[in-house]
Chain A
Amino acid sequence: MLFIAIILTTIGIFSLNRDGALTNKISNQVFGTAINFAALILFCNLYGLARGFFIFLAMFALLGMCVTFLRGYQKRA
């Protein structure tokens, strides 16, 4: 379940990206938000409401940073 939650968060972050910026497409924004919301529910289910909420936020931040950095290096390569 944890693995699925992490994957969902990553997919949610990816779908928010469009050429290095936050996507303008409403459908992508809605999709990204929905996927992240699903991940949040999974985290809350795993860890309880308060803990799950904070763990999701931290995971979102970490994965967002990783995705951005990896994207930068990938572009250079």
Chain B
Amino acid sequence: MASDNDYCLQGSSKYCIFSVLIAKALTFPMERKNTTFNGFKNRTFLAIVLTLITSVVMIPGMATYLPFHKNDAIGLPTLFFPFIWTALFIYSYMAKSVTKVWLVMATLILIHIACIYFALSAE
């Protein structure tokens, strides 16, 4: 347990969008280079922007293929949203390769946009 504590904020958060804002306000100096995450800028963009887009697009997308009653097919994706967002957010930072994260998110977005497109054009 004690060794876990040593990890506390070893990396710099100067690349994080939110951190920069807070850092300026607090004159928060960033003194070390990030050694924990590779492609930190990319990952932060993925975690903050693309995660939100993906999880939002997945709500109407999932409604088209979930094999439930209509109420559940529409309602359940909205209830899944917090879990999907959390999973994608953590995945953005934890995945070994940033490219893989990009690929996963892009695939999810494309598949769900296609589902939405076919569902709307079929009506």
A and B in direct contact, judged by CB atoms within 8 A: no
A→B interface (CB under 8 Å): none
Q: B residues touching A (Cβ–Cβ < 8 Å)?
A: none
